Amino acid sequence: MKNDLNNLSNPKKYHKPVSIENQDSATLQQMLTSMLLIRKTEDQLAFGKKNSLIGGPVHLGVGQEAIAVGVSQNLKKTDRIFGGHRSHSHLLALNPNFYKLFAEVLGKETGFSKGMGGSMHLYDQPNGFYGSVPIVAGTVPLAVGAAMAAKLQKTDDIAVAYIGDGAVEEGVVHESFNLAKTQKAPMLFVVENNLFASHMHIATRQPSDMISRFAIANDIPHKLIDGNDVVAVTKASKELIDDIREGKGPALIELVTYRWYGHVDWRIDVDVGVERSLDDIKNWRARDPILRLSKSMIKEKILTLNQEINLNNKIDKEIQIAWDKAMNDPYPSLDATLKYVYSESKNEK
Ligand SMILES: Cc1ncc(C[n+]2csc(CCOP(=O)(O)OP(=O)(O)O)c2C)c(N)n1
Ligand SMILES: [Mg+2]
C-alpha cells in the first residue's frame, strides 16, 4: 500500500500542538465542552455495555470527537446531516442532549427515536440530524438527494454525509460522488479516516491510505486534515462549506484520526492481535484531540487547571443524573411499534 498520508497517520511523528492563535476564546471553550461531553457520554455507554445494561451493539468513536465538533461549528439547524453506525458524536455535536441518547440506546420511549432505533438508528431532524443507519454507506445517496432538494428549494442549506474509510469500499459512494458533482449538489462529504474498517487496517484493503484520491477522481475540491485538531477541522470545513453555500458544488474533507475502543462495544483489546497493537493505541491516545486543545488553552491562559477540573466534574455529574433518569424511564408500549415501525398493509382485506 502507498502511504500517501505520510506522517499524518503516524501518531509518533505527528504531535503538533493545536494552534489557537486568533481564535475566539468563547468558541474554544464551547468546543472543549462539546468534545468532553461527547467523550464522557460514550464512556458512560461503554460502562453500560460492560455491565450488560444495554441490549444492542454500540459503536464508540472515542478519540474522534474533534471531527463532528469542528465540522458542526459551520452548520445550521436547517442543514441536512446524515450518519452511519458510529454516529453518537455527529448527533451530539448538533444537539448535546445526552439524556435522549442514553434513553435511545437503552430502548426507552423518551429516546431520540422513541426507543425503537438504538445506537445505530438515530434521528433528530429539528436539529439537522436526518438519520443514521447501520448499513455502511446506506445514507450517502440519501444525503446527496437531500442536497439536491436543498438546491431545488433555493435555500443555501447543505447536506453532510459522514463516511468512514471502509465506507468508500461501497460502490454507491462513488455513484454519490459522481452524482453530487454532475448535479452541483450542495454537499459536504466528511471522511473520518480512522485507518480501520471493523478489524482490518486500510493497508490490507486499499492500494493507498488516502481517501481524498476519490475526490480528485471526481474533480471534487478537497482538503486533507489532521482529524484530532479541532481548530484545523473547523477552519478547513468552514472554507469548504462557505464555497458550497455559494453554489460551487460538492466538496470533500478527509480527517485522519483513530478510535480508541475496538470496532464495537467497550473493549479496547478486541482488535489487538488482529491488526491493532497496544503500542499504536498508546501513541494515538497521546494525540488526544481533547488534551491537545486544553493544553493549548492552558498555555495561552484561556483556561486554568482548576477550571478544567471543574468543567470535568460538572459534566460527570450531569451525565450521571441523565443516565439514572434514562435507566428509570419506561419502555415503549407494543402499540407504539404499530404507530412508528410497522403499518397495516393497505392491500389486506
Ligand atoms: C453494507 C454493509 N456491509 C458490511 C457491514 C458490516 N460493517 C459494519 S461497520 C463496518 C466497517 C466500516 O468501516 P468504516 O467505514 O471505516 O467506519 P468505522 O467503523 O471505522 O467508523 C462493516 C464492514 C455493514 N454494516 N453494512
Ligand atoms: Mg474506519
Q: What average pLDDT does range 94-102 have in this prediction?
A: 98
pLDDT of residue 11: 87
pLDDT band at 348 (very low <50, low <70, confident <90, very high): low
User: Which amino acids bring their CB within 6 angstroms of ligand 1?
Assistant: 85-86, 134-136, 164-167, 194, 196-198
Cell representation of residue 27: 468558541
Share of the chain above pLDDT 70, in %: 97
Model confidence at 2, in pLDDT bands (50, 70, 90)? very high
Over range 65-74, report the average pLDDT. 98
- Give the Å distance between the CA of 24 and the centre of ligand 2: 32
Q: pLDDT tens digits for 152-206?
A: 999 999 999 999 999 999 999 999 999 999 999 999 999 999 999 998 999 999 9
Judge whether 101 and 110 are in contact, CB under 8 Å. Answer: no
From the CA of 198, the nearest ligand is 1
Q: Flag whether pLDDT at 270 surpasses 80.
A: no
pLDDT at 256 over 60: yes
| Nearest ligand for residue 263 CA | 1
Q: What confidence tens digit (pLDDT) does each residue in 287-330 have?
A: 999 999 999 999 999 999 999 999 999 999 999 999 999 999 99
Q: Long-range contacts: 198-201, Cβ < 8 Å, 24+?
A: 198/166, 198/263, 199/262, 199/263, 199/270, 199/271, 199/274, 199/275, 199/276, 200/274, 200/275, 201/275, 201/276
Q: Cα of 127 to ligand 1 centre, how many Å? A: 25
For 114-155, the pLDDT digits (tens) are 999 999 999 999 999 999 999 999 999 999 999 999 999 999
pLDDT at 340 over 70: yes
pLDDT (0 to 100) of residue 341: 87
Atom of ligand 1 at shortest range from CA of 168? 15
108 alpha carbon – ligand 1 mean position (Å)? 26
Greater model confidence, 272 or 54: 54
Kindly state the average pLDDT of the residues 25-39: 98
Which of 136, 189, 205 has the most ligand 1 atoms within 8 A of CB, as the residue to mutate? 136
Distance from the alpha carbon of residue 253 to the mean position of ligand 1, in angstroms = 19
Distance 135 CA to ligand 1 centre (A): 7
Residue nearest to atom 25 of ligand 1 (CA): 135
Tell me the average pLDDT of the chain. Answer: 95
Atom of ligand 1 nearest to the CA of 59: 19
Q: Taking the model in full, what pTM does it have?
A: 0.97
Nearest CA to ligand 1 atom 20: 197
pLDDT-derived band at 342, boundaries 50, 70, 90: confident
Cell 453518537: give the residue: 88
- The ligand placed nearest to the CA atom of residue 164 is 1
Q: Rounded to whole angstroms, how far apart are CA atoms 68 and 38?
A: 10
Q: How many angstroms separate the alpha carbon of residue 99 from the centre of ligand 2?
A: 27
Tell whether the model's pLDDT for residue 225 goes beyond 60.
Answer: yes
- Do the beta carbons of residue 38 and residue 93 sit within 8 Å? yes
Q: Which pLDDT value is given to residue 278?
A: 86
Please write the tens of the pLDDT for every residue from 86-97. 999 999 999 999
